[in-house]
């Protein structure tokens, strides 16, 4: 008899991938300016630490919510007691309004259609539990967030079938890639229940275009399946083209209230836009009452604590604060993004043009010894152990083309990012020097071989001439 369950012992959680291994290596030897200056710099963690001062100054100016008070009176007992598991109404209203504000108030969100969850991790898994059975499939464009293997597959038993996107069109979703993924699922005898996209994309740092979103809506309506749009990075869009939510596309196509709209679900969280992953605040937004009802019951497994809801309802209801925060945070992300792109360029490395997120999708194909995932892994190990940077290899994001890496830029100081770029440039210099030496050696040896072969040729020619004589 097995002493543990299959779930506990199987490895479909994907947590042994290089994405998580890199974190473990970082934990063993983390960079610290004074105490460990040669340690590993963490560039594999999509955290936003650029706007903490804005949050801290709001807290300093508004001490009541964080100290369990309202109008000078303690609300400790009220918050300490068991709350309605549907969430504090004031918080749901504030969160719904914040989601609309990020989308330029072009769409609105009904608080009653929101289900609060402990982060987008919980929200994504709960949605899968609501929409699919064990053995069903969801189609996801590659490259995708490595945590999805754990969040969507592990406990639900649902399969992920990749929609293969490539660098030939900047990793955009095409009709043929969607159809091929659908066909592949059918060939594997999997029933497709939906498509899940991340908009803006992790790891690409790009937003979906209107034509991609139109294509997705058309695809799910023709197949009668669901669309989950994970919009956890919606507030990080710092450059044009701006962010377009699938909710706006439904509105533009006059599909609000339709059967199709009922099959479109949005996932959100404050982990990235507000930089609060430790607070565990996420949500599902669905137009389907049944989904909202079931997900609300399931949310008992991952509620947001009442003091967090209380604090954040005050913060998010402060409209002066939210509008300043959103624009200032985007400016800071843009500056940091530009700094990484310039640093990479200086080292002779390019990346996908991006307009959002906390990372760049970096092209190091030219540094691979061969066009294989083994070579990608070799390069990753060199960057991790010799250069001292933890970046995430494309393979961990299920990218089809070896040589792409995700590099995060918002979880460290400017100085640390500078140092990371210096380390990378030094590595590229010595890499190029070695390559040049190697090439020189080859040229010399080829020259020797060719003069030898000339000599052999001449010799045999002379011999033949002598024979002929």
| DSSP letter assigned to residue 213 | H
Describe the chain by its helix, strand, coil percentages, rounded to 5.
Answer: 55, 15, 35
User: Is residue 232 within the footprint of ligand PLP (CB under 6 A)?
Assistant: yes
Distance of CA 172 to the CA centre of its chain: 15
| Six-digit token string for 107 | 């769409």
Annotated active-site residue in 272, 304, 310, 325: 272
Closest CA to 95 of 76, 108, 84, 78: 108
For residue 240, count other CB atoms closer than 10 A to its CB. 7
Q: Could you tell me the smallest distance in angstroms from the CB atom of residue 187 to ligand PLP?
A: 28
Q: How far apart are CA 206 and CA 60, in angstroms?
A: 35
User: Is residue 310 within the footprint of ligand PLP (CB under 6 A)?
Assistant: no
User: Is residue 121 within the footprint of ligand PLP (CB under 6 A)?
Assistant: yes
Whether residue 145 lies in the annotated active site: yes
- Using the minimum distance from each CB to ligand PLP, give the nearer residue, 148 or 325: 148
Q: Could you tell me the smallest distance in angstroms from the CB atom of residue 189 to ligand PLP?
A: 28
Closest CA to 199 of 261, 258, 160, 242: 242
Helices (H) and strands (E) in the chain, counts: 17, 15
Q: Could you tell me the smallest distance in angstroms from the CB atom of residue 274 to ligand PLP?
A: 11
For residue 197, count other CB atoms closer than 10 A to its CB. 21
- Using the minimum distance from each CB to ligand PLP, give the nearer residue, 304 or 419: 304
Q: Could you tell me the smallest distance in angstroms from the CB atom of residue 448 to ligand PLP?
A: 54
Annotated active-site residue in 128, 220, 232, 260: 232
- Using the minimum distance from each CB to ligand PLP, give the nearer residue, 23 or 68: 23
- Using the minimum distance from each CB to ligand PLP, give the nearer residue, 198 or 322: 198
Q: How far apart are CA 433 and CA 216, in angstroms?
A: 47
Contact with ligand PLP (CB under 6 A): which of 14, 87, 282, 343?
282
From residue 444, alpha-carbon distances to 67, 440, 453 in Å are 75, 6, 14
User: Is residue 202 within the footprint of ligand PLP (CB under 6 A)?
Assistant: yes
Whether residue 232 lies in the annotated active site: yes
User: Is residue 230 within the footprint of ligand PLP (CB under 6 A)?
Assistant: yes
Please identify the residue of the shown chain whose CB is closest to the bound ligand PLP: 119
Whether residue 173 lies in the annotated active site: no
Annotated active-site residue in 19, 26, 144, 145: 145
Catalytic residues: 145, 230, 232, 272
List residues binding ligand PLP (CB under 6 A): 46, 119-121, 145, 147, 198, 202, 230, 232, 269, 271, 277, 282
């Amino acid at each position: 008899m097995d002493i543990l369950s299959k779930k506990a012992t199987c490895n479909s959680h994907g947590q042994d991938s290089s994405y998580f291994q890199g974190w473990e290596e970082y934990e063993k030897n983390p960079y610290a300016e004074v105490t460990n200056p040669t340690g590993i710099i963490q560039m594999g963690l999509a955290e936003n630490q650029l706007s903490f001062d804005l949050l801290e100054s709001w807290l300093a100016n508004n001490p009541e919510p964080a100290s369990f008070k309202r109008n000078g009176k303690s609300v400790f007992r009220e918050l300490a007691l068991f709350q309605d598991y549907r969430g504090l109404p004031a918080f749901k209203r504030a969160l719904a309004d914040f989601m609309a504000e990020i989308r330029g108030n072009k769409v609105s969100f009904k608080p009653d259609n929101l289900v609060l969850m402990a982060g987008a991790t919980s929200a994504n898994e709960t949605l899968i539990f609501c929409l699919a059975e064990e053995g069903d499939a969801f189609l996801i464009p590659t490259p995708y967030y490595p945590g999805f293997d754990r969040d969507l597959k592990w406990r639900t038993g649902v399969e992920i079938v990749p929609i293969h996107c490539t660098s030939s069109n900047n990793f955009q979703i095409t009709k043929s890639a969607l159809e091929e993924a659908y066909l592949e699922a059918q060939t594997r005898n999997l029933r497709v229940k939906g498509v899940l996209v991340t908009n803006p994309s992790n790891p690409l740092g790009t937003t979906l275009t209107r034509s991609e979103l139109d294509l997705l809506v058309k695809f799910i309506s023709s197949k009668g399946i669901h669309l989950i749009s994970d919009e956890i990075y919606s507030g990080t869009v710092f450059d044009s083209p701006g962010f377009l939510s699938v909710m706006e596309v439904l509105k533009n196509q006059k599909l609000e209230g339709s059967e199709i709209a009922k099959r479109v679900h949005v996932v959100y969280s404050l982990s990235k836009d507000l930089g609060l992953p430790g607070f565990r605040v996420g949500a599902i937004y669905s137009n389907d009452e049944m989904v909202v009802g079931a997900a609300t019951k399931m949310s008992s497994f991952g509620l947001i604590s009442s003091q967090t809801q209380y604090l954040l309802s005050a913060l998010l209801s402060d409209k002066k604060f939210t509008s300043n925060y959103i624009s200032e945070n985007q400016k800071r992300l843009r500056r940091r993004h530009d700094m990484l792109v310039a640093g990479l360029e200086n080292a002779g490395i390019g990346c996908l043009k991006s307009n959002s997120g906390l990372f760049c999708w970096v092209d190091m194909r030219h540094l691979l010894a061969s066009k294989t995932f083994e070579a990608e892994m070799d390069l990753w190990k060199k960057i991790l152990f010799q250069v001292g940077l933890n970046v995430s290899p494309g393979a961990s994001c299920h990218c089809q083309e070896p040589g792409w890496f995700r590099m995060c830029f918002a979880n460290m100081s400017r100085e640390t990012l500078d140092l990371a770029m210096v380390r990378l440039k030094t590595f590229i210099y010595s890499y190029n020097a070695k390559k040049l030496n190697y090439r020189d050696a080859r040229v010399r040896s080829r020259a020797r071989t060719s003069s030898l072969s000339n000599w052999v040729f001449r010799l045999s020619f002379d011999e033949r001439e002598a024979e002929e004589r």
